[in-house]
């Protein structure tokens, strides 16, 4: 059987091909799955998708009509998949429920320190042999307060790094993580966290209950010199409200590895195009904002785990085995 993998980056392709070797043939495409590309999957029983795939009603209908029986998503998040429609069509859906939390936690801290210490601005200057320090002053993290929304595996890894910096730890989640409590984390309500934290990092999934968890009111409640980091999902932040606050000169720095309207932009080369997203175009002009292209997970360790799990998900499905990664099980025969 040949598997069709959408949205494969050039660095990923040899890893995917090697992982499937001895099991199945795999055809890798760099295009993302959406309404325009879905017909390509005709005749493929199993497809693999990336986090930026569009798996709405129309796409799923096209896949099912073309003979697809399983969707193996190479990510933890699945908010891009209409699971109800998939179940109705009898499509099995699996995801990667776990991979290295350190990849995302370490990158979130990379963003935090980059905006705090003005690394991008300093790098641009020194390339022009401008070695002035004006405008590059940062601040120590030790003794300051970090607020962490979401203290699962990634949030815990981020917390451990914050603890190493010697920071005061505030957390918010639907359930307390005893490992974070042991590190000295104090769980508080969101309002207090937004008001007291010098650095806020988001590590919750995107759900109806968390969409725009950082809304206009939350942004107004934050300290004027706060640092805001999002390496989870773009929809957690009301970006238009964020731009409005930035226009007022607020926040020491904002580091975003995700953007709520990133589909059709991230992972693609748009350097020669006119980007019609006015909010994103405005966002990247602020000198205290750093936007990266959803790369927090992109380490050889994490990607290797994601691919290995994807292969296992396909093998499990074929063998009739069900794991924690299955979002929609195989239809009863």
- Checking if the pLDDT of 333 tops 70, the result is no
**Angstrom distance (rounded) from CA 78 to CA 207:** 10
Give per-residue pLDDT as tens, 86-140. 999 999 999 999 899 999 999 999 999 999 999 999 999 999 999 999 999 999 9
Establish whether 17 is a catalytic residue: no
Report yes or no: 197 and 145 within 8 Å, Cβ to Cβ: yes
**What pTM was estimated for this model as a whole?**
0.91
Q: Which residues pair with 145 in a beta bridge?
A: 168
Reference 221, options 199, 192, 189, 248; nearest CA is 192
Burial class (CB within 10 angstroms; exposed 0-12, middle 13-18, buried 19+) of 208: exposed
Percentage of the chain modeled with pLDDT above 90: 91
Domains of the chain as residue ranges with CATH: 2-99+299-328 (3.40.50.720), 101-291 (3.40.50.720)
CB burial of 113-132 (b: ≥16 within 10 Å; e: otherwise) equals bbbbebbebbeebeeeeeee
Active site residue 87: no
Confidence at 268, pLDDT banded by 50, 70, 90: confident
pLDDT tens, position by position, 169-181: 999 999 999 999 9
Please tell me which residue in 12, 156, 245, 262 is annotated as part of the active site.
262
Contact indicator for 257, 231 with CB cutoff of 8 Å: yes
pLDDT for 263 equals 82
Residue with tokens 């934050």: 222
At 85, list the tokens. 């429609």
For the chain, how long is the longest CA-to-CA vector? 70
> Does the pLDDT of residue 306 top 70, yes or no?
yes
205-221 pLDDT tens trace = 999 999 999 999 999 99
Q: Which of 233, 245, 250, 260 is catalytic?
A: 233
Residue 276 pLDDT more than 60? Answer: yes
Of 15-29, 227-241, 261-275, 304-318, the one with minimum mean pLDDT is 261-275
Active-site residue, from 95, 118, 203, 294: 294
Hey, what's the torsion of the CAs at 128, 133, 134, 136, to 10 degrees? 100
Terminal CA-CA length for the chain = 21
Distance CA 99, CA 306 (A): 6
**Is residue 294 annotated as part of the catalytic site, yes or no?**
yes
Residue 74 has pLDDT above 70, yes or no: yes
């Amino acid at each position: 059987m040949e598997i069709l993998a959408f949205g494969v980056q050039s660095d990923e392709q040899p890893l995917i091909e090697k992982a499937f070797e001895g099991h199945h043939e795999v055809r890798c495409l760099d295009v993302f799955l959406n309404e325009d590309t879905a017909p390509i999957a005709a005749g493929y029983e199993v497809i693999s998708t990336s986090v930026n795939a569009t798996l709405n009603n129309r796409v799923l209908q096209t896949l099912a009509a073309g003979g697809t029986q399983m969707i193996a998503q190479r990510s933890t998040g699945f908010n891009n998949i209409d699971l109800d429609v998939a179940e109705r069509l009898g499509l099995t859906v699996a995801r990667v429920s776990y991979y290295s939390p350190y990849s995302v936690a370490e990158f979130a801290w990379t963003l935090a320190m980059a905006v705090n210490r003005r690394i991008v601005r300093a790098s641009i200057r020194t390339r022009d042999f401008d070695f002035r320090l004006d405008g590059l002053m940062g601040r120590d993290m030790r003794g300051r307060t970090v607020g962490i929304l979401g203290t699962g595996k990634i949030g815990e890894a981020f917390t451990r790094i914050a603890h190493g910096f010697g920071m005061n730890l505030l957390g918010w989640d639907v359930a307390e993580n005893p490992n974070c409590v042991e590190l000295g984390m104090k769980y508080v309500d969101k309002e207090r966290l937004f008001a007291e934290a010098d650095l806020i990092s988001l590590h919750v999934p995107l759900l109806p209950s968390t969409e725009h968890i950082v809304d206009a009111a939350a942004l107004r409640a934050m300290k004027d010199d706060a640092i805001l980091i999002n390496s989870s999902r773009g929809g957690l932040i009301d970006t238009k409200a964020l731009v409005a606050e930035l226009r007022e000169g607020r926040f020491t720095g904002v580091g975003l590895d995700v953007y709520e309207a990133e589909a059709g932009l991230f992972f693609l080369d748009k350097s020669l195009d006119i980007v019609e997203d006015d909010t994103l175009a405005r966002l990247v002009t602020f000198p205290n904002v750093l936007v990266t292209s959803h790369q927090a997970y992109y380490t050889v360790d994490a990607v290797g785990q994601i691919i290995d799990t994807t292969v296992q998900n396909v093998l499990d499905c074929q063998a009739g085995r069900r794991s924690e990664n299955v979002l929609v099980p195989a239809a009863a025969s």
